[in-house]
Amino acid sequence: MESRFVGCLRLASRAILTLVFLGLSSLSARADNACPWMNEASASGLLGGEAVGSYQAAPQTGGAATCTFTQRDDKVTRTLVIQVTTTPDAAEHLRTARKICTSDPLPLQAIGNEATECAANVRGQSGEQVLGRVRDQLFMIRISSSRKDDPVLTRSALKTMVSSAAELVAGNLF
């Protein structure tokens, strides 16, 4: 009777170890998307389809931490990029960063400090971006499409989506 009990315990412990191993291996498969400001589900909603994300931490020497979410289908690639830089002179860096806008920046209310939205049409892509800061953290959120006539991310949709993304990111930076 006792040896049967020991056999059951061994079997149960092996089953538990197997389940734990499988659970941990599935976590590590998704570990490359450790974006601290947005998850893939939120990015997928903003981009109009299933997005895959990646995260690159800021270098120890300074610079931006970057999250990139990409959604692809047959004819178009849609991308959401979030960059956050911690700097003691974020307000000055923000003024300099606005030079990358391809349209006049429009102020956004209640999204961090001094947030503005502007066009980001670069390298044949149609896009919108928000630049702003929260304390000493400068943030840039850009959503772009490889198609200028994208039926999902029209210019109006781009503005709405990038503003929504900026609200989420700024809220997570506070």
pLDDT at 2: 53
pLDDT at 32: 56
Torsion angles phi and psi, residue 68, rounded to 5: -130, 125
Q: What is the mean pLDDT of each run of 10 residues along the chain (174 residues)?
A: 50 39 39 84 95 94 93 93 90 83 91 91 86 92 93 93 95 90
pLDDT at 14: 46
Q: CA–CA distance from 41 to each of 71, 93, 135, 147 (Å)? A: 11, 31, 27, 23
pLDDT at 4: 57
pLDDT at 61: 83
